[in-house]
Structure 1
Amino acid sequence: MSSRSLRCNRALTRARSLRSDRVLARAQSLCSDRALARARSLCSDRAWLSSVATCMTSRHTRRNAQGELVTFSNQELERLERTNHQQPGPNNTTMGDYGNQEQLTAQLQQMQQQMLQMQQTIQAQ
C-alpha cells in the first residue's frame, strides 16, 4: 500500500470516527474519487457541504470555478466550523408523521363508497 493510500485510509478512518468537516477536507486532499465517495457516505450532508466550502489550514481553494484563489486561516476555519455546527440539521417531516392518518383513512373510505355507488349505478343502467 502506498503512503498516499495509507494517509487516505487514516483520513477516512478519522472522518468516520469524528464526522468532522475539517477531517473530511483533509481526506479530499489525499484520496481518489472512489475513496471520496466513501468519505461522503460517512458524513452528514451539512458536514460534506461545509467541507467543500472550507479547507484545511494552509490549503488553497477557489470560491468558484473561475474565482480568486483564497486561503483560510485557523481562525476563519474555526469560525466556519462553529457556524456549521450551530445550523439545524435537515428535518424530515414525513418520518413518523401520522397526525393526519385518521383523516386520510376516512377520506379513502368515502372515496371507496362513492366508487361502489357509481359501479352499482352503472350496472343498474
Structure 2
Amino acid sequence: MSAPSLTNFIVKRPWLRRWMTPLANWYTDLAGYRKIGLRADDLIPEENEVVLKALKRLSAKESYDRVFRMRRAFQCSLSHQLLPKDQWTKPDEDTPYLSPIIREIEAEKAEREDLENLTIKKPATKA
C-alpha cells in the first residue's frame, strides 16, 4: 500500500491544491467506480498480507457493507449496466475506511521491525 505520493507536496501549496482539485474530481468521476456503488477503498487489492489483516479488523457492519457493495458491483459488471443515479456513491460517502487501518498496521509492522533489530550496548565498566 505504501507507494510514493505527491499528496503532501500538493496539500501544502494552496495554489497547487486549487489547481489540482478539479482535475482530481474529474479523474474520480471518470474512473466510474462510484457509478456501480463502490468506494475508493473497495478497489484496494486483497492479495497483500497487510490488507488481509486490515479486513479482519473491520467492524462487522463495515465488513458486511463492503461485501454487499462488491457483490452489487459484480452484478452490474456481469449485466453491463450501471446502477440508477440515486444509488451511486456520493462524494461525501466515499470516505476511507480501510486505508487508516492499513496505515496503522504498517506502522505497527515498522515498529516491530525496529524493536527486533534493536541492539543493546553495555556500558564499559571501569576496572
Higher Cα Rg, which structure: 1
* Larger RCO (CA within 8 A; separation ≥ 6): 2
TM-score normalised by L of structure 2: 0.28
TM-score normalised by L of structure 1: 0.29
Greater strand share, 1 or 2?
Answer: 1
